[in-house]
Each structure stands twice: as C-alpha cells, then as structure tokens.
Amino acid sequence: MSEVIGRVLIRCPETGTPVETVFRLRPSAFEALQGEHRFRCTRCGQIHTWNKDDAWLEQAGPKRA
C-alpha cells in the first residue's frame, strides 16, 4: 500500500470544528511526529499549540488537475 501525503488536522478549541494545520505528511512521518507545534488557526485566527495526540491525518481525496 503506497503512502499518500495528507493534511494534518486538529480540532479548533475555540470553535470545536476540524481545522487543517500547515502540515502535509505521509502516515509514517505523522506517526513519527514529536513535540509541540504552533500554527495560526484559519477558523478563529488564534495561535493553537498542538501535538500528535491532538491531531489526525486526513486521507487525501481524489486527485484533481
């Protein structure tokens, strides 16, 4: 099974909705992810700190040209 690069999502603590981080990772790279990461939330505009336990990998959808 080939590895597909997917978007890393977390749940925004302000709005409770899934929001994508800047990370794009293969599953193996996601599993190896360590430490805390920060990004500016596109939902609420605040800076969120997250680690792998907060995040999940979104499977890439159908490719579009």
Would you tell me which residues interact with Zn ion (CB under 5 A)? Answer: 12, 14, 41, 43-44
The percent helix, strand, coil of the chain (3-state, each to 5) is 10, 40, 50
Is residue 28 a contact partner of residue 5, using CB atoms and an 8 Å limit? no
Q: How far is the CB of 21 from Zn ion (least distance, A)?
A: 11
Give the residue with the Cβ less far from Zn ion, 41 or 57: 41
Q: How many residues does the chain have?
A: 65
Q: How far is the CB of 33 from Zn ion (least distance, A)?
A: 20
Q: How far is the CB of 58 from Zn ion (least distance, A)?
A: 17
Give the residue with the Cβ less far from Zn ion, 28 or 36: 36
Which tokens go with 37? Answer: 């990461």
